[in-house]
Chains A and B, each alone.
Chain A
Amino acid sequence: MELFERLLKGDLRAAGRLMSRAEAGAVEVRPTLGKIYKAAGKGHIVGLTGVPGSGKSTLVSKLVEAIREDGRKVGVIAIDPSSPFSGGSILGDRIRMSNLAMDDGVYIRSMATRGSTGGLARSALAAVDILDAAGFDIIIIETVGVGQDEVEIARASHSVLVVSAPGLGDDVQAIKAGILEIADIHVVSKCDRADANRTITDLKTMLAMGITVSMKNMNDKPLWQVPVVGTSSETGEGIRSLLETIDRHRDVHRSSALGPQRLRRIAEYRTFKTAEDLLRGRFFASTSERVAAMVERISRRELDPFTASDELMSNVAL
């Protein structure tokens, strides 16, 4: 049987293999990924981001447990950065989720960012489709909230969770990274710690000042008001309430104009990203020799990069 048919029957080995092929980015897999895209669309996609060490992976493992208690199936795509030097990576999110490994209703996949040119959006969102098509009800994407690609991928989901941890001036980091304003739901993690209340208050103050703009209904009341939910992965506090908030966000979206609006935005993002990925690949393939021939002159400042790229663009086979 073909991998695609096996996937639709819920075969998880087929899912794993398809994700590897999507990540490798071979042209032959594109038609299959296209079929998978069309077969997907039932799952609820949750993007979860926050600064390094804010407790994302531990929280994901607790959320997964709560989702499983309801009997729902849940997939996780955990993304960690690649080394900028070797391109390799150590993917450590799974360590925090090891208690979940033994259950067919849970699928965890680790993925590396592979720098900015490697089509992270393509492979991560294809992996989400694969789990969606295999019948997973909720798919969580964990990304570190630094770097444009990582933040954009969290945004390409139905519910965006931004995790802030108390202390350490994390809030400043998060503000710098520009991730606070993308949240549909703010999570303050590690609420077993004494300083958590301050973080919650800070976030609420910021929200009250209206930093986030949201779509209004006819009575001019926002359809969704961004909540702040405190959680502790140590005590379990707030985990159930966070899951309820996610479900509520899903329901508001599915029953209002917000949902279709967001789905179109995600569709646009994916289309551009997928095309960009193709374009970049073909551009490099068809220009690398000519670029190699030019660099010597450019480095000696006999030729400039602007003229050189005009030349490349004017006769490139895309």
Chain B
Amino acid sequence: MSSPIRVLLAKVGLDGHDRGVKVVARTLRDAGMDVIYTGLHRTPEEVVYSAIQEDVDVLGISLLSGAHMTICPKIMKLLKEQGAEDTIVVVGGVVPDEDVAPLKEMGVKELLLQDTPPNQIVETLENLVAERGPR
């Protein structure tokens, strides 16, 4: 017996674009995952605390505000400080090409940006969790 993949979906900062994240929430639920949605305007600290208490496999951050290069480093740093670096972090939304490599360098496992088809999002998360293995 094993339980579904647990995902925390977070909107951080002033970003009010929540259409995409809600689409993703439904997609993941329909693929059998448990999705915890934080709602809008969370701080990096709130997101990391929530991810730890919920013990999620995946922390998904949705960013369309252009603030990813300040928000992502903060989240990665907090996760490390809290000893939760085994959390798989993925980012979705609007991120320019030149920022993809630096984000991956700081530990973001995958970026799933505009027009990513639903099944690709599902497969990517399933593969990342399978790669990590049981914990």
Given A101-B50, A109-B53, A110-B54: A86 touches B30 (CB 8 Å cut-off): yes
- CB of A17 within 8 A of CB of B55, answer yes
Chain A residues contacting B54 (CB-CB under 8 Å) are 16, 94, 108-110
- CB of B29 within 8 A of CB of A20, answer no
Q: Is the interface of A mostly helix, strand, loop or mixed?
A: mixed
A83 to B2, CA, bound (A): 17
The digit string for B49-75, where 1 denotes a CB below 8 A from any CB of A, is 110111100000000000000000000
Number of interface residues of B (CB under 8 A): 32
Chain B residues contacting A95 (CB-CB under 8 Å) are 37-39
What's the nearest-Cβ distance from chain A to residue B111, in Å? 23
- CB of B36 within 8 A of CB of A86, answer no
Given A83-B30, A90-B25: A110 touches B52 (CB 8 Å cut-off): no
A98 to B6, CA, bound (A): 18
What's the nearest-Cβ distance from chain B to residue A250, in Å? 25
A90's partner among B26, B49, B52 (CB-CB below 8 A) is B26
The digit string for B93-135, where 1 denotes a CB below 8 A from any CB of A, is 0000000000000000000000000000000000000000001
Which A residues fall within an 8 A CB radius of B?
Answer: 12-13, 16-17, 19-20, 23-26, 82-83, 85-92, 94-95, 98, 101-102, 107-110, 112, 114, 281
Beyond contacts A88-B29, A107-B53, A108-B50: 6 other A-B pairs, Cβ-Cβ < 8 A, are A13-B82, A83-B29, A86-B29, A86-B30, A88-B35, A95-B38
Which B residues fall within an 8 A CB radius of A?
Answer: 1-4, 6, 25-26, 28-39, 42, 45-46, 49-50, 52-55, 82-84, 135
Q: List 9 contacting pairs A-B, 8 Å CB cutoff, sorted by A.
A: A12-B52, A13-B84, A17-B135, A88-B33, A90-B35, A94-B50, A95-B37, A102-B46, A281-B1
